[in-house]
Chain A
Amino acid sequence: MNHRIIDASDVVIRFAGDSGDGMQLTGTLFADASALFGNEISTFPDYPAEIRAPQGTVSGVSGFQVHFGTDGIHTPGDYCDVLVAMNPAALKANAKWAKPTATIILDIDSFDTAGIEKAGFKTDNPVTELKLDDRNVICAPITSLTKESLKDSGLDNKAILRSKNMFTLGMCFFMFNRPLEYTYTYLEKKFGKKKPEMVETNKKVLFDGYNYASNIQAIANTYSVAPAHYEKGTYRNINGNQATAWGLIAAAEKSGLQLFCGSYPITPATAILEELALHKNLNVKTMQAEDEIAGICTAIGAAYGGALAVTTTSGPGLSLKSEALGLAMITELPLVVVDVQRGGPSTGIPTKTEQTDLAQALYGRNGECPVAVVAAHSPSNCFDAAFNAAKLALEHMMPVILLTEGFLGNGSEPWKIPSMKDYPAICPPIIDECEGKFKPFERDPQTLVRKWAVPGKAGLEHRVGGLEKNPAGVISSDAENHAFMVAQRAAKVAAAASCIPNLKVEGAPSGELLVVGWGGTYGHISSAVKQLQDSGESVSYAHFDYINPLPQNTAEVLSGYRKILVCELNSGQFADYLRARLPQFKYSQYNKVQGQPFIVEELVQAAKAMLGAKE
């Protein structure tokens, strides 16, 4: 076999194994090494809800996909160039993602009769059964080689078996010409002090894996992926949940307020609470509340006390918070509710990604209760999205729902570290005194925003609550007053449109087709549109970061195209919303509700079908 070094602009590698095989770590280490090497990267963890699902079964397969390259890496990639399968179940669950040209690495030790049966194969040859014979399948005895590598290490059998992911990582580092040093440094940092013996053993296995791959002739191709053309600056890897937490901390610093987060653990949002809990040094108070309702209610209490108040959750938690969200809305207190969306309804598919909470965010409360809704469009963009959501909440005295997605929360990408001096000031309408009795619902005539009178300031004593009030803050069930207050609160949310950026278009301002998206589908849709534009199609793209209120130029943008295609990971919730808000346009839809992100190719095909379709 001739060994070739392929210059690739981008490569997708998918690590798959049992949920206890350490595939998330292997993928993360590979991604980190690629980022440090200077590649653009995008990652996608795809793991089961069970911590330890039945070993060796398809339901227990955990995957981690890394897309890295020189330029234009906006998605974790549709199909993979390299698939690593640590057992038959992992191969079965992931074979469909392997490109026709893919290299497939198997830990052949796990392909025994028991393993093959557990994965539900009908024959004793999974590769043939899955019609993968034409791929470059590398059968490596990873388990036995790892055992051999560590036989004198003094580690027990369990610990040795746990190291086989390092062997696999070593093999992949060889295939992609990655230096081992980045991972050596990681191992020293992680184990150096507490378990020094783990540093040497892991290094040895990694190194042996690398050498094994280089020695066997089976690996036909190795890849050289040149560093990306990044702007100058300092970079780091960041995932969406971390970026969300940091964006909130940044908003607290800019506004001069304490950050209070009351939350209850829920997949896939928990990491935001965990991250915030780490940073008490930046005037952050976190409370792991007794339930979702207490999460939002403690935050509302903190908001009344003058903090930047936040609660973080996922779909089912947002359902539980509905009543309290209404309270925050009618008392006109600033509050950020982060919903890291997952597959629903009910418990649904907790570890998979979806955009199916939009309707709940927009409408899921009793009474006339409009709430501002914004969305993040990439892992690192979660920082700006969280910052902007907090700014909107604080300056307009209202709850804001920030929608992110499991795909963003867990996905990571390199991020050029910004400087806080480039971020705008946040100026909440806090007052220290007033003339006469304080009237809590007296408003600024332009923005309709009320004042924030925080306890502790003499002369500003007042009561707020869930009962309808008149502008002076006195309980009122007067018919006209109620109609007036309902209208004022809605008008206030609508008026915030003047404070949000205009909708931008990627591509020509007019033409045949406008593709519309919102939230975490940005990378996939923009890649698809770029492909179509490169092949000369008249396609443009508008992506919404602000959903309620809509950007002021929305109608103007939509009017420039003959056709509009709204792409989203639900059954058409944003399309329906646009139909209600801007009924003068005709909207087509492309939807997917599989708990998985889009793949670029399906979007390209959907847009092409629109371009070819007669009106």
Chain B
Amino acid sequence: MKYTFKDFKSNQEVRWCPGCGDHAVLAALQRALPQISEDSGLSKEQFVVVSGIGCSSRLPYYMDTFGFHSIHGRATAISTGLKVARPDLAVWQACGDGDALAIGGNHFIHAVRRNVNLNIILFNNQIYGLTKGQYSPTSKFGAITKTSPYGTVENPFTPGQLVLGARGTFFARGIDVDIKTNQEIFEKAAQHKGTSVCEMLTNCVIFNDGAHRAITDKEVRADRTIILRHGEKMLFGAEGNRGLVLENGAIKAVTLGEDGYTIDDVLIHDATTRDTYMHNMLIDMKDDLPVALGVIRAVEDSTYDENVEKQLQEVTAASKIHCVDDLLRSGSTWQV
């Protein structure tokens, strides 16, 4: 059966603020799922959406799938348990920057380290929205918020670098308004075996409006961002004539035809290389360099849930104990 995006929409009224970036991410997910379902051969009842607490964590209620809206920070642990117990299910997770990287930071890094086959959508609006405007672990240094009236004096995480540090196998980034690219990202995340972290740069219209404006506004987006695709040249710009090259071990943005640069100098994106050197630089691009979007890293590795299952099968095949009665009589016993 072929689904349409409507099949994944629940009858619940969506309660995010008008203009919130989360609407667009939800739409991208609902639009991606029919294709994902077709590619994976999974039907709707095999999808589960898990979330923590925060604005974005309301997402499971808006999906007509199995869903679990849990507690603050713990979505990743709940998803992990669910996936380990039920590797046959496709587990998606919605969580915010505070949920996943502050209170739930421990679960996040360990899920990534284990490479549990989860699809994590990390809504990064650089603010606590549901509690009405406190700074988050991704708020920029100096951010003025309700709990930092004179500006924060702490550095933010770059989520992608955290993923690399936790030996992550998949990282992608998208901006809320670009539904088409996000749909593509979600499809790639679903295909990836392991923890797929999809960072969505979302706009909180109420408490952090315009946090990503410098790269998301239509007038600047083409020059300030680059969409990376595996095997393709790293080209960007409104005219499509700008490219990324590697010089002296660092990435540099150049204009083709200027200063002697040609298309041959432009880097080709390799998302599958295990080495983190290029991925780390791509994830960290800012200021003079365009912010990288799309699938930056997608490396093959075995998954935790699959390894757990495999070990269970192997131990079972080798064991002489097949039931509890066997177990109770195993080892040292005596007769009276």
Binding site for B on A (CB under 8 A): 32, 35-36, 38, 230-237, 246, 249-250, 253, 258, 260, 262, 279-285, 287, 289-291, 293-294, 297-302, 304-307, 309, 323-324, 326-327, 331, 417-420, 455-467, 474-475
Contact = CB atoms under 8 A, between A and B. Distances in A.
B153 interface: no
Nearest to B66: A455
Nearest to B330: A236
A291 B329 CA distance: 34
B106 A260 contact: no
Contacts of A246: 324, 327-328
B319 A281 contact: yes
Contacts of A35: 334
Q: Taking each of B66, B83, B321, B333, which has the highest tally of chain A beta carbons within 10 Å of its own beta carbon? A: B66
B89 A305 contact: yes
B312 A285 contact: yes
A35 B10 CA distance: 63
A219 B136 CA distance: 73
Contact size class for B?
35 or more
Nearest 6 interchain pairs by C-beta: A301-B81, A465-B69, A298-B81, A297-B77, A281-B319, A301-B82
A159 to B, nearest CB: 26
Interface string B48-70: 10100100000011001111111
10 contacts: A236-B328, A250-B324, A282-B327, A287-B84, A291-B106, A304-B82, A305-B86, A307-B86, A455-B86, A463-B10
Contacts of B85: 258, 260, 285, 301-302, 305-307, 309
Nearest to B89: A455
Contacts of B68: 301, 304, 331, 463-465
Given A290-B110, A294-B110, A455-B46, A32 B78 contact: no
A305 B65 CA distance: 14
Contacts of B248: none
Nearest to A418: B328
B193 interface: no
A463 B67 contact: yes
Contact of A417 (B79, B86, B328): B328
Contacts of B10: 463
A236 B332 contact: yes
B336 A301 contact: no
A396 to B, nearest CB: 20
B80 A301 contact: yes
B313 to A, nearest CB: 9
Nearest to B113: A290
**Most chain-A CB neighbours within 10 Å: which of B44, B67, B89, B324?**
B324
B312 A294 contact: no
B131 interface: no
Nearest to B46: A456
A475 B335 CA distance: 59
Contacts of B250: none
A290 B107 contact: yes
Given A258-B85, A302-B84, A465-B70, A249 B329 contact: no
A389 B192 CA distance: 39
A458 B7 CA distance: 13
B316 interface: yes
B232 interface: no
Given A235-B336, A260-B85, A455-B48, A297 B70 contact: yes
A260 B81 contact: yes
B322 interface: yes
Given A282-B323, A304-B68, A235 B48 contact: no
B311 interface: yes
Interface string B3-35: 000000010100000000000000000000000
B331 A297 contact: no
Contacts of A474: 12
A301 B65 contact: no
B287 interface: no
B279 interface: no
A234 B329 contact: yes
Nearest to A296: B77
A75 to B, nearest CB: 22
B71 A327 contact: yes
B325 interface: yes
A419 B325 CA distance: 6
B81 A262 contact: yes
Given A38-B336, A258-B85, A301 B110 contact: no
Contacts of A304: 48, 68, 78, 82
A131 B10 CA distance: 80
B45 A458 contact: yes
A96 to B, nearest CB: 34
Given A290-B106, A463-B68, A463-B69, A297 B78 contact: yes
Contacts of A234: 329, 333-336
A285 B84 contact: yes
Nearest to B64: A461
A294 B82 CA distance: 12
B96 to A, nearest CB: 15
A38 B321 CA distance: 26
A260 B323 contact: no
Contacts of B312: 280-281, 283-285
Contact of B70 (A282, A285, A466): A466
A291 B10 CA distance: 34
A417 B325 CA distance: 9
A94 to B, nearest CB: 29
A225 B128 CA distance: 71
A327 B61 contact: no
B181 to A, nearest CB: 28
B233 to A, nearest CB: 40
B132 to A, nearest CB: 18
